[in-house]
Amino acid sequence: MRDRMKGFRELTSVREAMEKIRKTVTHRIGETEEVSLDSALGRVCGEPVKASRDSPEYDRSAVDGYAVVAEDTFGASVTNPAELKVLGRLEAGSAGSESFEVRRGEAVEIMTGAPIPRGANAVVPAESAKRVGDRVEVYQQVHPYQNVSRRGEDYRVGDIVLEKGVILKPWHLGALASLGLDKIKVLRKPKIAVLSTGAELVDPGEEISEGQVYNSTKPMLKSMLRELGAEPLDLGTAGDQVEEISEKISEGIREADAVIVTGGTSVGTRDLVPEAVSRIGEIVVHGLRIRPGKPAGFGVVNGKPVFMLSGFPVASLVGFRVLVVPALEHMMECRFDENPKVRGVLTRRITSPPGIRTFARVRIFTDEQGKIFVEPLRVTGSGILSTLTRGNGLLIIPEEVEGYDEGEIVEVELLSPIQSQKG
Amino acid sequence: MRDRMKGFRELTSVREAMEKIRKTVTHRIGETEEVSLDSALGRVCGEPVKASRDSPEYDRSAVDGYAVVAEDTFGASVTNPAELKVLGRLEAGSAGSESFEVRRGEAVEIMTGAPIPRGANAVVPAESAKRVGDRVEVYQQVHPYQNVSRRGEDYRVGDIVLEKGVILKPWHLGALASLGLDKIKVLRKPKIAVLSTGAELVDPGEEISEGQVYNSTKPMLKSMLRELGAEPLDLGTAGDQVEEISEKISEGIREADAVIVTGGTSVGTRDLVPEAVSRIGEIVVHGLRIRPGKPAGFGVVNGKPVFMLSGFPVASLVGFRVLVVPALEHMMECRFDENPKVRGVLTRRITSPPGIRTFARVRIFTDEQGKIFVEPLRVTGSGILSTLTRGNGLLIIPEEVEGYDEGEIVEVELLSPIQSQKG
């Protein structure tokens, strides 16, 4: 029977598909561009950044207080204060630390950030001291370098501050700023073309006629690309002609780093997209061991990937995760953040066909005691967007697991914050 | 002794501080603006969205195949196929489903997305059928409505598709698109003013002289605001005059929804920022049971919060988390996504003072077997940015815990992806 049925010769596992991406996608997003710190958030670091100076550049006070010789404070307490002579005062932001030399029995009043004067090796916080005329009573002992930010303790000249491929977070920008840098070289944004196929599709905002449906998959995929720092290029919607689809894909390959085509990939009577890709390149994977999204796959044209995803929004989201995300990581030589994961009690039995990785949409909620529950959402089709808007998580059932029982503890990926009520 | 030391009268717990935010911050980000789906990602839904139509608008085929009367296929198999007469073909995107009426013994060839013709109640997938002239052999039984996306199964007219306050994710935009919407009302972006204080500070990119330091905290805070969808307003750097700080804060209160002031909050000899805030409003909290970041607090001016954060980058990050994030959630009536959490084995004992919530920077890595380890990073000061750039997580030790032992399993917040090598 098998040979008589038009179908997928062989389904590819997610792992195999990722290996094939690495082998066949030769195109890279190598070019960098310089951007200001103000627009660098979320971009990918384009080259290693080394410290060109020590940070801090000098030993400086971490508190407001008195710079002292630590040994003078040994044994000091509220009942047995050490008494030191105050030589003067050092403000932050001003030179002048050289005008002081602190010797045993002496102290300099010092502000946070000011350089530690010569001879001093610790700072007594202001709240542990009391000024009495030109002397100070110290009520606490400090050890050498206590309350001192030491030269180079954050970065030393030549230290690698940022590796290539790091996705820039706020503290990375802070680290660059601490070295005086106000710009950084980042990878250019990858440009990913998106083509919808299907004569029934109408863009939102347009008039709709009988038998037509709004294209919900494309706005979703475009914003998923934006989330990854990519720039979507909209190739519009192709009708059901192989020639037209093939031309649009070629256009995408010329102008973008990759192409995503949705719809027309299922093995029905019209296997349009794989046929269109075959005309200009090579199909690498067609049919994946995933649910939903089985008909997904990819081909390669000029070393650039052409992803074939379902036209159904949820199935296309799963295909995007298992194909587009790893391919982008491969082409950009970076690693994207993962979604938060939580563990909760499954409220209902859920099954998965053996050998298939199932992406089940779930609702994650807590009861009054804060206990976390995971409720699989009932679905009839892979198009059901409301499972993502009503739910807030994904339960990924691996290939070797056939399901989980009610009451089992499962780990789920959180897509939106946990709902605090069963409601 | 206590009364003789200049210090914080009383430290406030994180929980109390959040309660005080809710009580004293009366300002709200209530105004909405309409944006296109293409620019709505990450914005906050400004009003509930109801479905104005059913989605799907008609029963449609979820696969390419044959629309049939399900009962005709009962018992069908490869060895015992059901044979049906094919009346014709229905494409997606075209009207014409009315021209067919399927009766027992009949079928209509149907494409994915096409409306189910009258009389039919299920679809046999193409790969489970074989066309023979004007007849089709069916090798699989289908139950009623199998492979049919039913009218309204995603949304029915009047269903709430999106609640106010939801942070818009790709699938939310997909859901709006499926209803034909190409715009959405979102909350306007909150504008948050940021003022640095400290005569020693120099902006990155500028020349630096002896005793000066680059301002690393502000670029970090600005990008943390951007991450939350807020728009930072840079008020520059104020010197060490209370008058100047007070005027800048007033400017921020006039033009923004909140003000963040960094530096000058520790209880040293110069308690500048709290004094500046007191002149124009009221200090609500000064001194928090957190480490690092203890000197943090906030005041209220005209119902808008003025956050006083440390000038040290890591301490300011912690203050931002415990004060600014919940205040923004309160003013925007939304809930931001949390960072991913993972569990791992602690590589070294770590302690925390009783009653204090400690935010320890850690490096999270896996060994060759994939086992997760959590290594606390040694620090000498709260300014050490490299603990965030070299590390990739936060271990938050609650007030009632005095620490964890080496080898204990701890839950940590992931700030950047897990490192796969001990390296």
Q: Do β-strands A341-346 and A372-376 pair in parallel, antiparallel, or remain unpaired? A: parallel
B376 pLDDT exceeds 80?
Answer: yes
> For tokens 């039913």, what's the residue?
B150
Alpha carbons A391 and A360: distance in angstroms, whole number:
10
- List, in sequence order, every residue forming a beta bridge with A410; answer none if it has no partner: A344
What is the predicted pLDDT for the residue at A7? 53
pLDDT for res A267? 47
What's the pLDDT score for residue A238?
Answer: 93
Mutate to test the interface with B, among A389, A390, A392, A421 (most CBs of B within 10 A): A389
Cβ-nearest to A214 among B112, B177, B269: B177
**Residue A127 with chain B: CB contacts under 8 Å:** 5-7, 267-268
Residue in B111, B172, B314 closest to A270 by CB: B111
CB neighbour burial string for B298-322, b if at least 16 within 10 angstroms, e if fewer: bbbbeebbbbbbbbbbbbbbbbbbb
User: CA geometry: angle at A319 spanning A313 and A321, to 5°?
Assistant: 105
pLDDT band at B190 (very low <50, low <70, confident <90, very high): very high
Q: Tell me what percent of the residues of chain B surpass a pLDDT of 70.
A: 94
Q: What is the pLDDT of residue A329?
A: 97
This model of the complex carries an ipTM of: 0.90
Q: What is the least distance, in Å, from the CA of B12 to any CA of chain A?
A: 18
Angle at B145 between CA B139 and CA B146, to 5 degrees: 45
The tokens describing B213, both together, are 């330091």
CB-CB under 8 Å, A269 with B109: yes
Question: Residue B321: beta bridge partners?
Answer: none
Cα–Cα dist A220/B171, whole Å: 6
Tell me whether residues A180 and B204 touch, CB distance under 8 A.
yes
CB contact under 8 A, A211 and B311: no
B314-336, pLDDT tens digit by residue? 999 999 999 999 999 999 999 99
At residue B72, the pLDDT reads 96
The answer to whether the Cβ–Cβ distance between A267 and B155 falls below 8 Å is: no
Question: What secondary structure letter does DSSP report for A330?
Answer: H
Instruction: Tell me whether residues A268 and B180 touch, CB distance under 8 A.
Output: no
Cβ pair B144, B118 in contact under 8 A: no
pLDDT at B339 over 50: yes
- Between the CA of residue B385 and those of A56, A114, A199, what are the distances in Å? 11, 19, 54
Mean pLDDT by 10 residues, chain A (423 residues): 48 96 97 97 96 89 92 95 95 76 96 90 93 95 93 91 94 94 97 93 92 92 97 94 95 98 67 92 96 92 97 92 97 90 93 93 89 85 74 94 96 83 48
Confidence of residue B29 (pLDDT cuts 50, 70, 90): very high
Model-level pTM?
0.91
Instruction: Test B126 with A389 for CB contact under 8 angstroms.
Output: no
For the CA atoms of chain A, what is the radius of gyration? 31
Residues 6+ apart with CB under 8 A from A191: A230, A231, A232, A233, A255, A256, A257
Q: B385 touching A, CB under 8 A?
A: yes
Report the candidate in A303, A310, A222 with the shortest Cα–Cα distance to residue A273.
Answer: A310
Residue A168 exposed, middle or buried by CB count within 10 Å (0-12, 13-18, 19+): buried
Q: Is A271 on the interface with B (CB under 8 A)?
A: no
- Only one residue has tokens 């001990």, namely B422
How far B79 CA lies from chain A's nearest CA (Å)? Answer: 9
Judge whether B78 is closer than 8 Å to chain A, CB to CB.
yes
The predicted pLDDT at position A196 comes to 96
Neighbours of A13 (CB within 10 A): 17
> String of b and e for B58-72 (b: at least 16 CB within 10 Å)?
bbbbbbbbbbbbbeb
Find, among A248, A275, A253, the residue nearest to A264 by Cα: A275
Measure CA of the first residue to CA of the last residue in chain A; give whole Å. 48
Domains, chain B, ranges and CATH? 2-30+189-332 (3.40.980.10), 32-55+162-187 (3.90.105.10), 60-149 (2.170.190.11), 341-414 (2.40.340.10)
**Cβ <8 Å between B145 and A227:** no
Is residue B112 very low, low, confident or very high in pLDDT (cuts 50, 70, 90)? Answer: confident
